[in-house]
Structure formats: structure tokens, C-alpha cells
Structure 1
């Protein structure tokens, strides 16, 4: 009888430790993911289609020095809010990480799999994904 009571008590204790471990691990993982999301600037630019409006002038592309026509794809940088034609700014953003007008720093592209960074440090991912060493 005493052995069964001790066995049941130990079983309850191990279940409690396991549940506490899972809860702490889940909370830690959630907090790391939340901190990761807060620190990352995910949006480099917003894409929109130019439309003629009587209230405001159409967006002006500083790269090609032309106003946007209706239906053209435009990109507005989130950092400085400057607008450009998509075909004008995409090659620039492929090479540079600044706005061509004000030189504001544009956030980097988000990682392909942000959940992977929760488990693996960024340096390890960079080591295996660096194309120079392949």
C-alpha cells in the first residue's frame, strides 16, 4: 500500500515537472519569437498602383524624373516615404541599401525562414548560406 502511494506521488511529481518544462520552453520560445519580430523591420517598401486623383498630384519618380501614369506599379520606401517606379528602384535596391534621394538606410530583406533563426544562431546560417564559399 505504501509502495503504491509513493509510486503514485512520484508519478504526479514527474508529470508536474514535465508539464512545467513544456510550459517554460513554450513561453521562452514565444518570447524569443516576439522579440525577433519586434526587432526586425520587415517591410522595405510598399507596392501600389498609381491612380489619378483630383485632390493630389501623382507620385513622381526621382530616378527617371517622370510622374506616374495611371496603372503603373510604384514602390514607396517605408523609411523615408519616397516613391519610385518599380522598374526604376528594383535594380537600385538590388545593389544599394539606401534611398537614392535622401540616403536613408533601407532595411535588409527578411530571412527566408524566420522561424529557423529561433533555433539556430544567425552566424551559423550565414556560414552555410554564404555563396562566396561554395
Structure 2
């Protein structure tokens, strides 16, 4: 009798451990997926540094900043907008994006700045978050 109750207790503990482990794993997987989905559309631009490489028989076009009207030289930081693919110097486009949400060259709409806590934005409306953060 004691042995049977001990076996049933160990089976219960094993089943509970498996259920809890699967629940935690699926919750972590869901939170990762939700975080990826929330932050993915917010990519405004990619930052890169100009490096010159010699390529034989290929003519490469240098990135050109249409704000300051200069070609990019080696070692300068450039930003490529995700909405349209245009490149600009980082120090030229940052003040522009603080005031406007369009590309200076083609006027394509650029997504807004991502929220500070993207997972909270899934549950709480944006006005409530701004009410408590200000």
C-alpha cells in the first residue's frame, strides 16, 4: 500500500514537472515571437560605414547624400532608409528625422520611433502609456 502511494506520488510529480516545463517553454517561445513581431516593422534605417574595396571590372557607385550634396568618403557613417532605400550621412539625416517622418529625396513615409516597451504596447493602448510616462 505504501509502495503504491509512493509510485502514484512520483508519477504525479513527474507529470506536474513535465506540464510546468512545457508551459514555461511555450510561454517563453510566445514572448519571443511577440517581441519579434512587435519590433520588426519599426526598423527605420540601417547604419553602415563606408569601406572601399577594389573590384576588378566592376564600376561601383558611391553613396551620395542629397541633404549635404556630397559623396560619401571612406570611414563615414551612412544610414539607408528602410522605406525607400536612399542613403544619407548619419549627421545629416538625424536632424531631418527628428522634425519630419518622410524621406528627403522621395517623400516616402518612414515608420515612427518604436515604443520603449514593445510587449506592453500589445496589451495597453498607446494613450494610457503616454499618460503614465509623462
Common fold: TM-score over 0.5 = yes
Deviation, 1:98, is 2.6
Flag the 1:133–1:27 CA change in 2: closer, same or farther, 3 A. Answer: closer
CA distance in structure 1 between the partners assigned to 2:113 and 2:31 by the alignment? 20
Structure 2, gaps ≥5 residues long: none
Question: TM-score under structure 1 normalisation?
Answer: 0.69
Question: TM-score under structure 2 normalisation?
Answer: 0.69
Deviation, 1:53, is 6.5
Counterpart of 1:16 in structure 2 is 15
Show the 5 A alignment for 1:1-134.
Answer: 2-39=1-38, 40-41=40-41, 43-51=43-51, 55-112=59-116, 117=119, 121-122=120-121, 123=124, 127=128, 130=130, 134=134
The CA RMSD over aligned residues, in Å, is 3.2
1:10-56 deviation digits (Å, cap 9, x = unpaired): 34214312321221231132133124314523642222233457722
Q: Tell me, what secondary structure is at the counterpart of 1:41?
A: helix
Structure 1, gaps ≥5 residues long: none
Q: Tell me, what secondary structure is at the counterpart of 1:91?
A: helix
Q: Tell me, what secondary structure is at the counterpart of 1:16?
A: helix
CA distance in structure 1 between the partners assigned to 2:128 and 2:68 by the alignment? 38
